[in-house]
Structure 1
Amino acid sequence: MWVKDVGNGVRTNNATAAAVAGESMAARRARLEAENARLRADKAKVETECDIPRKAAKYFVGETNW
């Protein structure tokens, strides 16, 4: 989310403009915490997906040592 101060008002991108308008601080905090949790889960998944080929490469390198 980006917010840019434009003169007297504040301009936001279209995706978050609806979410920000009229949202209480508690609701905004809950929404952001849920988004952070989702992003952390996605990061863990991506790290695991990247780690699998690395582990496989190490395994096969170890198998070829005669």
Structure 2
Amino acid sequence: MGLMDSLKNKVSQLAERHEEKIDQGLDKAARMVDSTTKGKYSTKIHSGTGKAKGAVGKMAHKERED
């Protein structure tokens, strides 16, 4: 197993273990940015947050699929 495979496995394990905390952090960051921009980019912020959560979910559950 190469270095990249080892790193991918470690990230996958961390994402699985801390998925809820990561999602909460993404939500908190999105709220802060949305507040700072006074809702001007609200749609884009929520879209990006959803995509980031999807990516974390894929990483967290990748190991189960293999």
Greater per-residue helix proportion? 2
Higher RCO (C-alpha 8 Å, min separation 6): 2
Greater per-residue strand proportion? 1
Same-fold call, TM > 0.5?
Answer: no
Tell me the TM-score normalized by structure 1.
0.41
Tell me the TM-score normalized by structure 2.
0.41
